[in-house]
Amino acid sequence: MTTQTEVRLNEVDIDAVGALVSAVAEDPEKGQTDWSATVTWKGAFRSEVSIRDFDPIPSDEPAGLGGTDTAPNPVEQVLGALGNCLAVGYAANATAAGVEIKDLKIELSGDLNLESFLGLKPGHAGYGGLSVKVHLDSDASDEQLAALHDKVVNSSPVGHTLQNPVPVSIDLA
């Protein structure tokens, strides 16, 4: 009788991640992936995004911005996307390095000037800057944690998307 066991650290399936790394290393085209989402307006400032087969994720604006405050707004979701991406990076890279994570909390904030968004003056309507604080509890050495942090920061897809100009084409269909 053969028993198959999964190897896990930080609740990450190491074998699955290793298989993905091997597959992309052997065939780099497998590393080229496409992702998609569909947003449906629900009235006023409410909308929801459908991604794969998951329940829709709602979006709204705070009451002070004219919304009904039923869900996070899009700029808050950007912060959440970056934080979630970093969390995945810490889990994946810590696991690959054999580092156990006891606890991980990522605090994010950003400054946004509403003048451009409201059409009061031309200029950048997005975040002027983001601040991220990573609270990582682990028995790993300071050197291991610094190396882990550098690897995560330098390989975060959402982080890279936010830090580098990305061509965006928005067409009216």
Q: Cα-flanking dihedrals φ and ψ of residue 104, to 5°? A: -145, 125
Class assignment of domain 8-163? Answer: alpha beta
Closest by alpha carbon to 92, among 2, 1, 10? 10
Q: What is the pLDDT of residues 15-44, one digit of tens each?
A: 888 888 899 999 999 999 999 999 999 999
Secondary structure of residue 155 in the 3-state scheme: coil
Q: What confidence score (pLDDT) does residue 7 get? A: 67
Amino acid in the structure at residue 137: D
Once rounded to an integer, what is the mean pLDDT over residues 90-117? 95
Closest by alpha carbon to 126, among 112, 115, 146, 143? 112
Helix runs in 71-156, H state only = 74-96, 114-117, 142-153
Instruction: Give CA–CA dist 91/12, Å, rounded.
Output: 7
Does 5 or 119 have the greater pLDDT score? 119
User: What is the pTM assigned to this prediction?
Assistant: 0.90
Residue 11 pLDDT > 80: yes
Residue 160 pLDDT > 90: yes
Q: What is the pLDDT of residues 128-151, one digit of tens each?
A: 999 999 999 999 999 999 999 999
Angle at 163 between CA 161 and CA 169, to 5 degrees: 45
Q: What confidence score (pLDDT) does residue 1 get? A: 55
Q: Cα-flanking dihedrals φ and ψ of residue 148, to 5°? A: -60, -45
Residue 69 pLDDT > 90: yes
- What value does the mean pLDDT of the chain take? 94
Q: What are the extents of the domains in the chain? A: 8-163
- Beta strands 38-43 and 46-50 are antiparallel
- Beta strands 38-43 and 12-13 are unpaired
Closest by alpha carbon to 87, among 19, 43, 136? 136
